[in-house]
Amino acid sequence: MSDLKQTALHDLHVELGAKMVPFAGYDMPVQYPLGVLKEHLHTRAKAGLFDVGHMGQVILTPKSGDLADAALALESLVPVDVLGLGGNRQRYGFFTNDAGGIRDDLMIANRGDHLFLVVNAACKDADLAHMEAHLSDRCSVRMVEGRALLALQGPLAETALTRLLPGVADMRFMDVAILPYEGAEAWVSRSGYTGEDGFEISVPDDLAEGMTRALLAMDEVQPIGLGARDSLRLEGGLCLYGHDIDETTSPVEAALTWAIQKVRRTSGARAGGFPGAARILGELAEGAPRKRVGLRPEGRAPMRDHTRLFADQDSDSPIGEITSGGFGPTIKGPMSMGYVKAAHSALGTTIYAELRGKRLPATITKMPFTPANFKR
């Protein structure tokens, strides 16, 4: 345990009574005394505050001084329209590998003279090395140090954060802004990982605890741990890297084709040119052999990751596997997502999960399991 890294808010989590667990090499709060169920419901009803300081923050600066050079360079690693990303706007994307799998998923923001990326904690060192190896002739690539990252999520997130950063009220979903805070800069995006309206806020480490305490002093805000973060994102139909997507999973299989803009597809102005393009563009045209789907199990028992899926009660060959599953406090029942062969992926199809030697039914269901509440 002693070799685990700590975020800038570690001591505050302990003070608040958090149960700490290892996660992506960090000592992180999985829940607070409120408990996972109440933390989840509080975020859906009011505002929940998450420490996401373990994530990687990266700045990509064009050596030419022309942001288009950095955008085009990054497009060589992602099947995303970076060049067309507007100023002070953010977009979801993913690094792909030569086999058409997903190396990591990330957020990409256009901040005028540079790109700001947020990558997953477990992948950030590999992502940095990947970018340095492929982009360093055209861009400087810098991992940001000394800045915490908070996420404030829920329908009252704007109400709460406006008291500290009035400018956030003017932001729309996927806007980014640099706002003054306590003599420094707060880097804010209107985005998150819960399906709710909310914000991610990067602030210098020495200001993070003060901002956190100020937010937690507000009636709307409670601290939220990794347990509720997971159930919230699963209700929102959002992928967890290393579970629902990985280096073997293509974006088409993962039902992430909405994040591949037309300009990067076959016949687009900048079609292909990213790792694994042959597989990914081929699957876009012909379909993938399997597909990520949502599942609502019958009964109350959750069907969790690695549970095998079958077409019927008696078949010997599985048609897929669950990659994430648990209980959805908002929907008051179990929920799962996973992969099945394309022939079995139609909405409304009943398939069977093997739990403790029994085949139990589950219905393929549209995701998200609970409606998104982003501010458009």
Reading across the β-sheet that carries 102-110, which strands appear in turn? 89-96, 102-110, 115-119, 56-62, 139-143
How do 47-51 and 221-223 pair as beta strands?
parallel
pTM equals 0.97
- Per-residue exposure over 90-126, b if at least 16 CB sit within 10 Å of its own CB, e if not: bbebbbbbeebbbbbbbbbbbbeebbbbbbbbbbbee
In words, the CATH class of domain 289-376 is: mainly beta
Alpha-carbon distances, residue 102 vs 22, 257, 269 (angstroms): 24, 13, 23
Is there a contact between 58 and 157 (Cβ–Cβ < 8 Å)? Answer: no
Cβ neighbours for 36, distance < 8 A, ≥ 6 positions apart: 30, 225, 227, 228, 231
Alpha helix segments (H runs only) across the chain = 10-15, 36-45, 67-75, 124-135, 157-162, 205-216, 226-235, 277-286
Alpha carbons 302 and 335: distance in angstroms, whole number: 7
Question: Which of 1.20.1250.20, 3.20.20.80, 3.30.1360.120, 3.30.450.40 is the CATH number of 10-55+146-235?
Answer: 3.30.1360.120
Amino acid symbol at 113: D
Residue spans of the domains in the chain: they are: 10-55+146-235, 289-376
Angle at 246 between CA 245 and CA 249, to 5 degrees: 75
Q: Name the stretches of the chain with pLDDT < 50.
A: none
Q: What is the pLDDT at residue 357? A: 87
- Rounded Cα–Cα distance for residues 45 and 141 (Å): 39
Residue 375 has a pLDDT of 87
Count how many Cα atoms sit within 13 Å of the Cα of residue 212 in the half-sphere of its side chain. 28
Token readout for 346 is 């139609």
| pLDDT tens readout for residues 145-202 | 999 999 999 999 999 999 999 999 999 999 999 999 999 999 999 999 999 999 999 9
359 has which bridge partners? 354
Query: Within 10 A of 300 (CB to CB), how many other CB atoms are there?
Result: 9
> Cα angle at 265 between 261 and 266, to 5 degrees?
160
How high is the pLDDT of residue 1? 52
- With b for 16 or more beta-carbon neighbours within 10 A and e for fewer, the 143-175 pattern comes to beeebbbbbbbbbbbbebbeebbeebeebebbb
Q: Helix crossing, 67-75 with 124-135: angle to 10°?
A: 110
Task: Using only the alpha carbons of the chain, give its radius of gyration.
Answer: 21
Single-letter amino acid, residue 136: S
According to the model, what pLDDT value does residue 141 have? Answer: 98
Name residues whose C-beta falls within 8 Å of residue 201's C-beta, 6 or more positions apart in sequence.
149, 150, 151, 152, 161, 165, 186, 187, 188, 211
pLDDT tens digits, 86-97: 999 999 999 999
Rounded Cα–Cα distance for residues 284 and 252 (Å): 6
